[in-house]
Chain A
Amino acid sequence: MTARSKAKGSLIAAALFLSAPALAVTPDEMLKDPALEARARDLSQELRCVVCQNQSIDDSNAPLAHDLRVLLRERLQSGDSDRAAIEYIVARYGNFVLLKPPMQLNTALLWVGPALAAFLALFCFARYLRGLSGAPAAAPADFTHDEASRLDALLEEKNAK
């Protein structure tokens, strides 16, 4: 029996932050060397089971997932780096197999998009606040006097909280 305690350390923890321990690895697949096995498990979580609906090969029971897990371990054992092992599989199955999208020209927008959106949002936020402080704080013209005072009463009730 081989033990595997996942003590996620280091900043790479962010990468595996929302991942979960997996089901599908069988004892006979597991490598004797715990460091290699740990690498294999981490890499497996980044590879998609292409015949399943949205699972990693680490999570899937499918025969193809099993084959790829075994293959990955063989590559690691033969001395491949993490990157080379992944490249080996991508060369055969394409970028579809990567759960972390590749950083290339056509995924630039994907990777940069969120940060861009954040800047855009902050910019709009700043502009909105500046615009507000310039505007006259007048009551809306189309309220009747009755309605305006009722509205004020409501807001006062809230303000007293």
Chain B
Amino acid sequence: MSRFAPLAVFLLVFAGLGFGLTNNPQKMPSMLIDRALPTFSLQAVDGAAGGLSSVDVIGEVALVNVFASWCPVCREEHPMLEKLAAARDVKIYGVDWKDSRVGARRWLGYGNPYTRLGFDESGRVGVDLGVTGVPETFLVDRDGRVRYRHAGALTDGVWKDVFEPMIKALRSQK
């Protein structure tokens, strides 16, 4: 029966390759899922209110949005965040990642959807969050646990399909 062995092995490999087609090899899962938001404390970009630390985020279900002024996709995402901020449904905290103060100030000129905004010039807080690029948005529950991480722009579709249901579920707990 060993003459069927090569065929059998091939079928396994074939199935694997087929699966591979549906899989995005670059997509990395976040290490923070179901873990506490790392402790951090960031200064303000002068002009915005007070800076951001991890304790600010804890207390209610909230979003932490990591962005940079030099990132074109973040620019596309910005109106969506403004819309969410205007709806006053969920608080959005901002981390300006590896940016310049000039760029950050210019960014705020487009509108500020953030309850609080921290300036991560060196990118060290980004490393603690496992950020590999911008924009990234984290969904944090009221105990300060990270529940979801979305890499890429937060679009209407992503909001309706993923975030809204999760936020509802988290809020109805306890």
Contacts and interface: CB of A to CB of B under 8 A. Distances in A.
Interface residues of A, number: 12
B132 A50 contact: yes
Contacts of A93: 28, 31, 130, 132
A71 B98 contact: no
A55 to B, nearest CB: 13
Contacts, number: 30
B152 interface: no
A17 B128 CA distance: 32
A7 B122 CA distance: 34
Contacts of A50: 28, 132
B127 A71 contact: yes
A92 B132 contact: no
B31 A51 contact: no
Main secondary structure of the interface of B (DSSP, over half): loop
Interface stretch (A26-34, A62-70, A145-153): A62-70
A92 B130 contact: yes
Nearest to A124: B2
A92 B28 contact: no
Given A91-B31, A93-B28, A51 B128 contact: no
A92 B31 contact: yes
B165 interface: no
A92 B133 contact: no
Interface of A: 50-51, 63-64, 67-68, 71, 91-94, 96
Interface of B: 28-29, 31, 98, 122-124, 126-130, 132-133
Given A51-B132, A93-B31, 19 more contacts: A50-B28, A50-B132, A51-B133, A63-B98, A64-B133, A67-B122, A67-B123, A67-B124, A67-B126, A67-B127, A71-B124, A92-B31, A92-B128, A92-B130, A93-B130, A93-B132, A94-B28, A94-B31, A94-B130
